[in-house]
Amino acid sequence: MELVKVEGFEHIYQIDRFEKEFTDIADGDIRYKKWLIRSLEMLESMGMAALKLENFEMVSKDDPKIYSIRYPHSKLNPRVLYIYVDRDGACLLTAFKESSKNRSSDYEHAINRARGRLKYVLD
């Protein structure tokens, strides 16, 4: 796995598998790609202040803290897990669909996957 810069952004990076994961869960629906771009624009311009918005939240308090971008009230209910790097950057770690029936186990599995990928970010 490698860390790569997200095209069109100065301070947002992703694990190289992230884009395929996100495309797979979005099932080719362009509105989810547009949502992700809008969310990343907010994340890049606002930094940690984005956490005041409805669709950004902390999901793990252990260091390094993991955060989620969510698309509330959408059919697919996609989630993107990321960490903040440096003062104004972020790294996208994984994407998943949250099921209303298994919310805690969906998040737990995704957080574990994200933590496993942190070594590629923090080295």
For 1-23, the DSSP string reads --EEEPTT-SSEEEETTHHHHHH
Give the integer Cα–Cα distance in Å for 10 and 22. 20
Give the integer Cα–Cα distance in Å for 19 and 95. 9
Rounded to 5°, angle at Cα 117 from 85 and 15: 65
pLDDT of the residue at 102: 62
Class at the top of the CATH hierarchy for domain 3-122: alpha beta
User: If DSSP codes are grouped into helix, strand and coil, which group holds residue 63?
Assistant: coil
With a cut of 90, say whether residue 52 has pLDDT above it. yes
pTM attached to this predicted model: 0.92
Least confident range from 25-29, 36-40, 65-69: namely: 25-29
pLDDT of the residue at 100: 65
